[in-house]
Structure 1
Amino acid sequence: MTEATIRLADCYDGLLMDLDGVVYIGNDAVPGAAEALDTAQACGLPACFVTNNASRPPGAVAAHLQTLGIAATPSTVSTSAGAAAAIAQGLVEAGASVHAVGGEGVAEALRAVGLTPLRTPQQHPRANEPPRPSAVVIGFGADVGWRDLAWASYWISGGAHFIATNFDRTFPQPWGAAPGNGVFVSAVHEATGVRPTVAGKPEATLFHWAAQQRQWRRPLVVGDRLDTDIAGAVNSGYDGLVVLTGVTDIHDLLRADVRMRPTMIASDLAVLAGSLLPIAAVGVSDDRWQASGWSAT
């Protein structure tokens, strides 16, 4: 290890890990990912799996990871639904009703913080209207429809707090990109004129919440996307490691805006138990790039 390189386990107290493109791709684990995470854990670098996908509860995410040979439990998973529920908890009274739009992950997260999830009524507004919720949380769900968004708009226009788990415009599917939660959130914003508080990446809330839950003071964000994972790390004040097993390639890195630049780059997760050269350690002198005794023009 050269003077400029760092051993990750000596510098960070935990890993805030993205999933798709980092730990797995589609239905398959990224080669070597399970072994790399086991080795990192043994070196004192535990992982928390952080996902913008609010549709699945932590238990379902952990069960999926276990089928891929990755040691995970519900306590090692933090979702944008959990972060959104934490925001709601800080805005409304204990036990308050919150309109839960999305998959079961949204309702479960609200229950976990002592709030009462309210599913979309089947009748039209003002027809035997149920008690108004104090807040509306919108997260992804494959069955979200017009009626869900109509009731959400009605209640938000009436003063309910508007919280979005994330603002991802697309949701990856085996056949290509499908509309994501950002499309649902945008529709409600257009209908009400109210901007939501967003919990998920690239906002800082999800990363800060996940780190605070584990009492980590200096976590390392690991991801494959510059616009969510690394931008989220920058917004959170955390270092970011981008791996090249997902959507980002060298050309993307060279064009990256300063708000999306990682601290470190690696080909895959095998580096977690090793050492890396931070990009900041690369300097320029006499029109030459220099690092660890190497130089290039």
Structure 2
Amino acid sequence: MIAKRFDVLLLDLDGVVYLGDEPLPDAVDSINRLYELDKEIRFLTNDPRPTRRTIASDLRELGINAQEDEIVTAGWATAKYLAQQGVTTAAVVGSEGLETELQSEGVEVTDSDPEAMVVGADEGTSYRDIRRATRHIDQGAVFVGTNPDGSFPTPDGPAPGAGAVVRAVEAAAGTEPTVVGKPEPLMFEMALNGLGDDVRAVVIGDTPATDVLGAHRAGHTGILVADEEPTAASARDLQVPDLTISTLADLFTEGIETWESPPYSWPDEIRPGVAAVVRNDADEVLLMKRADKRQWALPMGSVERCEPVREAISREVMEETGLHVEVEELAGVYSHPAQQVFSYSSGKTVHFVTNCFRCTIEEGTPEADEEEALEVGFFDVNDLPPDILSMQPQWIADAIDISGSPAVR
């Protein structure tokens, strides 16, 4: 039985337990059966408007004996996050429920020089609210979004969610927010707080982009409630569920493979990249010890907007080493996430699709750019430094032995 394989079940609400004011088929009986099996249950919702107390009361009216401490909302999680960061004052775009949760965690709601600008939403959100939020952020308030959902389900179809307002403020303020709700791992960590480090948790939701992705980013199995299996461009997409069920009653059947975290993070964006295998007259290859990774690597970087790849190669080599090079031919194209997903100190995670070219030196003597490299030098291809980026010996081998078509990895 699926349910018996997990200690904690993290259940989304809208689209899993109820839709509008009505419970979904089998939801109430299934949740009560989970209680009878002594399972820990947490109800997670990205809806930042209601308080936890309100949701617990609503669930009890449906016949589910939920307690307030079993509820995790995006609003409450945002309040906990701000309190953990030492924030004591915040302006709010959102509901009275969101303000109540902030105040319960010791965060005063004010428009007088707030430390943080919290952006959620409710039915009364207006252009004036977006303008007010933009002004506070411009004056130095930390921008925090409750959740990224552009919409949420209703019996009449999707309705605009807090994410739509967050993105409007982001566009107006010209800065990105810290987002607390799903699919960010923080909300799942809060849900499991106090339950032990070795609990087996499963996330059950109806949205691949928030529930399943969030489960996998947090290291948990993700189950999707849907009538049909979702489609994805790649099996490696973290939004692909481990199982799709039609109702919560399916939790009492057999068959699921638990999630195993892959050796890469979920990227925030995909960028075209370039790398250069530059050899000297002795057939040695040029490497630089990168300041960001503190590992040896080929000269490499991003392709900028409207920039041809050949010009990007020449520019990157010049900026990083001071050499003028002639770009000879494409050696390979590389995009495997285990090798091409990088996380940076800024918090961004980027998946590069890198075009690697074989190049020769036209003029110049290599010198390390202080911002990019600690050292720069030439190395025998059979005696590369041990702390070279793991995928690049293969790139170098592909560039040296080009036979027919470029490598595609």
> Which TM-score applies when normalising by structure 1?
0.79
Measure, in 2, the Cα distance between the counterparts of 1:280 and 1:194: 34
Q: Structure 1 residues 264 and 86 mapped into 2: Cα distance closer, same or farther (>3 Å)?
A: same
CA contact under 8 A between 1:8 and 1:276: conserved in structure 2? no
CA contact under 8 A between 1:106 and 1:137: conserved in structure 2? no
CA contact under 8 A between 2:11 and 2:44: conserved in structure 1? yes
1:101 maps to: 93
Aligned counterpart for 1:268 among listed residues 228, 247, 250: 247
Report the Cα offset of residue 147 of structure 1.
2.3
Give the paired residue count. Answer: 258
1:111 maps to: 103
1:59 maps to: 53
Aligned counterpart for 1:166 among listed residues 140, 147, 161: 147
Q: Structure 1 unaligned runs (5+)?
A: 1-5, 121-130, 282-297
Measure, in 1, the Cα distance between the counterparts of 2:195 and 2:95: 25
1:237 aligns with 2:231: no
**Superposition map of 1:211-290 within 5 A:** 211-215=192-196, 217-244=199-226, 249-250=228-229, 252-253=230-231, 258-278=237-257
- Name whichever of 215-224 and 198-207 sits farther off: 215-224
Measure, in 2, the Cα distance between the counterparts of 1:280 and 1:201: 18
1:68 maps to: 62
Aligned counterpart for 1:203 among listed residues 181, 184, 188: 184
Measure, in 2, the Cα distance between the counterparts of 1:68 and 1:256: 39
- Classify the secondary structure of the residue corresponding to 1:176: coil
Report the Cα offset of residue 26 of structure 1.
2.7
Which amino acid letter does the alignment assign opposite residue 115 of structure 1? V
Aligned counterpart for 1:177 among listed residues 158, 163, 167: 158
Measure, in 1, the Cα distance between the counterparts of 2:16 and 2:169: 32
1:8 maps to: 3
Measure, in 2, the Cα distance between the counterparts of 1:29 and 1:70: 10
Report the Cα offset of residue 181 of structure 1.
1.2
CA contact under 8 A between 1:40 and 1:272: conserved in structure 2? no
2:327 maps to: none
Identity of aligned residues (%): 32
1:35 aligns with 2:29: yes
Which amino acid letter does the alignment assign opposite residue 52 of structure 1? N
1:191 maps to: 172
Which amino acid letter does the alignment assign opposite residue 168 of structure 2? A
1:124 maps to: none
> Which TM-score applies when normalising by structure 2?
0.59
Measure, in 2, the Cα distance between the counterparts of 1:279 and 1:63: 33
1:21 maps to: 15
Which amino acid letter does the alignment assign opposite residue 242 of structure 1? L
> What is the Cα-based RMSD across aligned positions, in Å?
2.3
The Cα offsets for residues 30-86 of structure 1, whole Å up to 9 and x where unpaired, read as 222111111111212121110000011111112222222122122211001111112
CA contact under 8 A between 2:93 and 2:129: conserved in structure 1? yes
Measure, in 1, the Cα distance between the counterparts of 2:154 and 2:253: 34
Measure, in 2, the Cα distance between the counterparts of 1:280 and 1:237: 7
Q: Structure 2 unaligned runs (5+)?
A: 261-409
1:154 aligns with 2:135: yes
User: Which has a greater percent of helix?
Assistant: 1
Measure, in 2, the Cα distance between the counterparts of 1:90 and 1:72: 26
Q: Structure 1 residues 218 and 60 mapped into 2: Cα distance closer, same or farther (>3 Å)?
A: same
